[in-house]
Structure 1
Amino acid sequence: MTPLWDSEIPPDPVEITATGWLRALVRGLVLGGLVFGCLALLLVVRLVERPLCGLRRPVTPYITQFVCRNAFRVLGMRFRSTGDLMTGMGAVVSNHASWLDIFALNARKRIYFVSKAEVAGWPGIGWLARATGTVFIERDRKRAREQTELFEARLRAGHKLLFFPEGTSTDGLRVLPFKTTLFAAFFTDALRDRMQVQPVTLVYTAPDGQPERYYGWWGEMAFGPHLLATLAARRQGSVEVIYHAPVRVAEFADRKALARHCEAAVRSGLDVALSARDDHPARP
């Protein structure tokens, strides 16, 4: 199992006021209705879509995208994206800071997450992940060939696969070294000359007066309390998704060279965004 990143400084304590609890209740009910109502719709549509289209999903990704765009409206959180979306066969790689990444990365681009197999068994989250087409993998060398074939099938079906090469989430203020294992799947004879990879940087800005790592979710932090604190916030911050220029896999000698390039692009995007924020801090 991949070790979780943790901070030497414990998570910041969150105090929720009476009005905060009310906000959390209202937002939670609306967000839950949005997510699970659209999930029911997605499952109904998939009953028709699957036998007619197989792996291809011409309709249901738009339902997922609708949910993710409107989730930020429900939270009252600003969403912004910059850069051009990749076209053609390819994968997306990004830094990983929060459970909110799922909404942010789906809000503008229709993608399918690559996740560790354990997530499939998580209550609620696992169900949502399976319904939206997440690719589950096991970190077992004996199954490497099988998983590579699965990647190829999904990519050939036009799916944009997204994974987090850091292997764990952080506080959103850093980019950890990229693990290179999953990049190897793109260097097969069937994919190398056709594949592109697009690096993406996620940048979270905390609400005014809150710690910079407010939206970060890492280590052994429980999901429930973090979700509750986000729902209860009187003022929300923002998230920016920066799409960097995609690169062709064939231009790189091996998976390590490709991973280094993607890591540098994602790291540079975060460093530039954080530096600009320090130079122009928000007004209190």
Structure 2
Amino acid sequence: MDAVARASAPIDALRPRRLRRRKPLRFRNGLPGGRLFDVFADRPLGGRLRAARRLTLLALWTLLCLPIQAVLILLPGSAKIGFARLYHAVLSRLIGLRVQVIGAPCRDGPVLFVSNHSSWLDIPVLGGVLPAAFVAKSEVGTWPVIRTIAHLGRTVFVSRSRGTTAREAQAMRDRMAAGGSLILFPEGTSNDGTRELPFRTSFFAIAEGARRIQPVSVVYDRLGGLPACRRDRPHFAWYGDMDIASHFWRLARRSGARVTVVLHEPFPPGRLPNRKALASETQRIVREGAERLRQNRPVVPIAPPAAPGAAGP
């Protein structure tokens, strides 16, 4: 009878008895310590604890520094500038960013630092590297907490409305006439971090008040210790309808993040004939440096444009 059954179902005759299991095989984790030490598994709890720790330290550091800067800003001297750089540098580390700087900031002030702009992260990054105040849109002055930090950082707010443009431009010229340097984002807004938007020539109306212009390229080029690709840009770039809270939380959960700041060679604004040429040449330098960083290629500060009638810079 058994032979007849096997003949009626030939495939059963070829199937070994040991594979006819009622329950599937289950393998235990071979790594010691179970799931907690499984390096190949997701660890959402670890990321949340890291983000919560960073947020707590950031809040404590800010609460400690605000009254100190409030006093320093009332006193003469450059202590308020140095302390603002210290605050932003530590802030970048607390967020989880390692800042790599190529080149050196120009000391022949006042300097107009011109940079690409992809995120609110540019503020603590550049604030910790450059001895200068930011030029920001007026909306920033209405955001809770951030507006207080911006005011203590001596930020110059611009509304870009026709009725106030002349007055705001004069305020920036007065700041530079007093010896203060400024950080300008001539794109006018942030973007997805994969390219640079056209530099607006209107932002260079104050260029004649600076002794030097220094182009700056900023690229967030590492995440998890590996080169950042297009897929990783939303962890750094802040654009569209993103809100700061969720954007910060998503980045703070990650480790191994790095940003590279390239400080190109400065040049006098009078070297170029007009604002249009100044915006075009500055954007070329910033773009070339940023593209090299995105391609994970070595980069050095780019030389300034040649003076009219000269053979070289």
TM range (shorter): 0.7 to 0.9
Q: TM-score if structure 1 supplies the norm length?
A: 0.83
* CA displacement 1:12-51 (0-9 Å, x = unmatched): xxx982222211111111111112211121112234x1xx
Alignment partner, residue 205 of structure 2: 184
Give the C-alpha shift of residue 93 in structure 1.
0.8
Contact 1:75 1:236 in 2 (8 A): no
The Cα RMSD (Å) is 2.0
Q: Which residue of 2 aligns with 1:137?
A: 158
Change beyond 3 A, Cα 1:140–1:73: closer
Asked whether the equivalents of residues 183 and 258 of structure 1 are also in contact (C-alpha less than 8 Å), the reply is: yes
2:214 aligned with 1:198, yes or no?
yes
Higher Rg of the two aligned structures: 2
Correspondence 1:1-284 to 2 at 5 A: 17-47=44-74, 49=75, 53=76, 57-86=77-106, 87-187=108-208, 191=209, 195-208=211-224, 211-213=231-233, 214-233=235-254, 235-277=255-297
Deviations 1:159-197 (A, max 9, x none): 11111111111122211111111201224xxx3xx6321
User: Comparing both chains, which one has the higher relative contact order based on Cα–Cα distances under 8 Å and sequence gaps of 6 or more?
Assistant: 1
- Indicate conservation of the 8 Å contact 1:16/1:229, yes or no: no
Q: Secondary structure at the match of 1:108?
A: coil
TM-fit CA distance, 1:140: 2.0
Q: Distance in 2 between matches of 1:116 and 1:262?
A: 21
Q: What's the offset of the Cα at 1:125?
A: 1.0
8 Å CA contact retained: 2:221, 2:293: no
CA offset digits 1:79-105 (Å, max 9, x no partner): 110112112222111011111101111
**Equivalents in 2 of 1:16, 1:199: separation in Å?**
41
Could you list the structure 1 runs, at least 4 aligned residues long, displaced by more than 6 angstroms after superposition. Answer: none
Identity of aligned residues (%): 32
On the 8 A contact 2:187/2:199 being kept in 1, the answer is yes
Q: Distance in 2 between matches of 1:171 and 1:144?
A: 28
Question: Does the residue aligned with 2:168 lie in a helix, a strand or coil?
Answer: helix
In structure 2, list runs of 5 or more residues that go unmatched.
Answer: 1-41, 299-313
Distance (whole Å) between structure 2 residues aligned to residue 246 and residue 85 of structure 1 = 9
Displacement of 1:64: 1.3
TM-score by length of 2: 0.75
Report how many aligned residue pairs link the two structures: 251
Give the superposition deviation at 1:201. Answer: 0.3
Deviation at 1:120, TM superposition (A): 0.7
Query: Deviation at 1:206?
Result: 3.8
Letter in 1 for 2:278: L
What is the rounded CA distance, in whole Å, between the counterparts of 1:66 and 1:203 in structure 2?
A: 21
